[in-house]
Structure 1
Amino acid sequence: MSEAISTTDPADANSFISTVAQTGTALIDGMSQQLGTLNISSVESKINTGRSKKDAGDAAFKSGDVKSALRSYHEAIMYLVGVDRNAMNALGMGSPAATPDESKQEEKTEVDVMLEKIYANMSACHIKQENWKRAIETADKALAKNPKNTKALFRKGKALGESGYFEKAETALTEVKKISPAEETIVDAELTRLRAIDNERQKVADKKMRGWLSRDKKA
């Protein structure tokens, strides 16, 4: 074996090594392309399923079936969270070119937009169920995707007010008016309603306090 190698023409040996290297590179490139295609196909499938689940949730909510809506939204999130951004760009589903004003903002994809709407809609579902804590949590998730989502911000303010945090609710609702002046009438009506609830809540608390103080004096 060693004698055969030693008598081999160096030029032939170099040619052989070059051919092997090129073949190996071609095989690796081919495998990478196949894996990339599979990855993109998987991402596309997840996005389509997530979109379908979201649409089902929207339809259920419009019909008044809040439980089914929440279930569909949860399922949509399972498919959409963690979707590969590079694969989305390859599918043409990435974010559009950023304008100078948006250059410092995080890039948003189609999935980001869907998740923003899903979380905002889930907040509305939880409000229907008077689950104020979950309404605030899901509204915050929508706002993490888009701080100027006035629907999510309004729902957060409503849930905060119902939870007894009127000052925080007022801050959130006032922000809605700053972002969208056209919603001022609706926001002011909600602030008036929440203020009345807060005043009534305070009266009850004051009455209890007076009762305790009176009891202490008699003791």
Structure 2
Amino acid sequence: MSAEASSSSFITVEQKLATAKQKKETADQAFKLGNVKDALRSYHEALMYLLGLDKNALASMGMAPQPPSSTDAKDGKAKEKTEVDEIVEKIYANMSACHLKNENWKRAVEAADKALAKNENNTKALFRKGKALGELGFYEKAVKVLEDLKTKSPGEAASVDAELARLKAIDDERERAHRKKLKGFLSKDKAKTAFIEEIP
């Protein structure tokens, strides 16, 4: 590859990165203003620019992956993170917040999981995943995620405890409604059985 062609491809990578950052900033502002639909669109557009960026091209531009911290190392395998990885992580965590606002719990969990794939210690993504799981009715899973968050970030304990209490109340109400429905169903079944037994 000629130096000229090489240089133009680096400019393209730089332009993609700059455009992605600008789209993320636009999305962040839209979210702050309560315009979730525009925020999601801009986050998605930012991802379109970021997800195709080649790590080797970034390294040639002086954006080499950062050395992993001791907390990133798991089972002796260390993850190298680039600036792109960090931006993608933040975008997915923010998209999870957007989906929570829209009460689209399943998508909130999916976006949080994508952020956590980049950084399993992302406290915002953990909190949003726990909240969404609870709303979906997966109370035990939600508790596990939120308790994990408390362990990883003790400073979040008050927020986590409040969310756990809220989810417990929702779960208790669901359980009461389920028992009431089941009781009604069993009562109808008994009445039906009694009626059948009365027939000569």
Superposition TM-score, scaled by structure 1 size = 0.83
1:39-93 residue CA offsets vs partner (Å, 9 max, x unmatched) = 2111111100000000000010011111110010000000000201111111112
Q: Which residue of 2 aligns with 1:65?
A: 35
Q: What CA distance in whole angstroms lies between the structure 2 residues aligned with 1:216 and 1:172?
A: 40
Q: What CA distance in whole angstroms lies between the structure 2 residues aligned with 1:83 and 1:157?
A: 31
Q: Which residue of 1 aligns with 2:197?
A: none
2:110 partner amino acid: E
Indicate whether 1:147 and 2:117 are aligned: no
- Percentage of identical aligned residues: 57
Q: What CA distance in whole angstroms lies between the structure 2 residues aligned with 1:58 and 1:153?
A: 19
Q: Alignment partner of 1:96: what SS?
A: coil
Q: Which residue of 1 aligns with 2:195?
A: none
Residue 97 of structure 1 and its aligned partner are, at CA, apart by 3.4
Q: Which residue of 2 aligns with 1:122?
A: 95
CA RMSD of the aligned region, Å?
A: 1.3
Residue 32 of structure 1 and its aligned partner are, at CA, apart by 3.1
1:129-163 residue CA offsets vs partner (Å, 9 max, x unmatched) = 00000000000000000000010000000000000
Indicate whether 1:185 and 2:155 are aligned: no
Match among 83, 106, 122 for residue 133 of structure 1 = 106
Q: Alignment partner of 1:42: what SS?
A: helix
Q: What CA distance in whole angstroms lies between the structure 2 residues aligned with 1:191 and 1:100?
A: 30
Indicate whether 1:160 and 2:130 are aligned: no
Change (3 A) 1:210 1:69: same
Rg (Cα) greater in structure: 1
Q: Which residue of 2 aligns with 1:88?
A: 58
1:162 partner amino acid: E
Change (3 A) 1:102 1:138: closer
Point out where structure 2 has 5 or more consecutive residues left out of the alignment: 193-200
Q: Which residue of 2 aligns with 1:39?
A: 9
Higher share in helix: 1
Residue 35 of structure 1 and its aligned partner are, at CA, apart by 2.6
1:78 partner amino acid: M
Superposition TM-score, scaled by structure 2 size = 0.91
Match among 175, 190, 193 for residue 202 of structure 1 = 175
Is the 8 Å Cα contact of residues 72 and 78 (structure 2) preserved in structure 1?
yes
Q: Which residue of 2 aligns with 1:19?
A: none
Match among 48, 51, 69 for residue 78 of structure 1 = 48
Q: Alignment partner of 1:188: what SS?
A: helix
Point out where structure 1 has 5 or more consecutive residues left out of the alignment: 1-30
Q: Alignment partner of 2:67: what SS?
A: coil
2:62 partner amino acid: G
Change (3 A) 1:102 1:182: closer
Give the number of aligned pairs: 189
1:107 partner amino acid: E
Change (3 A) 1:70 1:101: closer
Q: What CA distance in whole angstroms lies between the structure 2 residues aligned with 1:101 and 1:117?
A: 18
Indicate whether 1:173 and 2:143 are aligned: no
Residue 38 of structure 1 and its aligned partner are, at CA, apart by 1.9
Q: What CA distance in whole angstroms lies between the structure 2 residues aligned with 1:196 and 1:99?
A: 39
Q: What CA distance in whole angstroms lies between the structure 2 residues aligned with 1:147 and 1:193?
A: 24
